[in-house]
Structure 1
Amino acid sequence: MQEAEIQALLEKVEKLLDVHEDLREQNKAMRNAEAAWQAERGKLIQQNEIARRKVAEMITRLQTLERNSG
């Protein structure tokens, strides 16, 4: 191999390593974002369940009031 070919190959390897590192950082950022979204999703599901229970309780109370006022 000629020196120029070796140098070109080394440059390509360095570029690949740079791309690899960029992709690793992007992947890490995406995983962190996904974890945050999953946590937010869990919180929203919990809040939705609480709201659903409160609405069901209010409906039950209203039905009871309606029956009692009759």
Structure 2
Amino acid sequence: MADRKQTIIYVDMDHVLCDYAEGFSRQKDLFPDLQFPQSEEPGMYIGLNPLPGAIESYHWLNDLPETDV
């Protein structure tokens, strides 16, 4: 497979790898006066929890020799 190109796969974080809704709700509770707490106050993305099976699925895709995740 050395002469074959890998398929590039881009994986979104929000609602794919991480529970964005839960993180947004938590951030909004911390900063109720901010309209966009996810971008106006640092820290939301670092604290997002993974969705069930997301980490394992990411590793499965990443371990395939024909993909570049």
Q: Structure 1 length as normaliser, TM-score?
A: 0.21
* Structure label with greater radius of gyration: 1
- Report which of the two has the higher share of strand: 2
Q: Which has the higher contact order (CA 8 A, sep 6+)?
A: 2
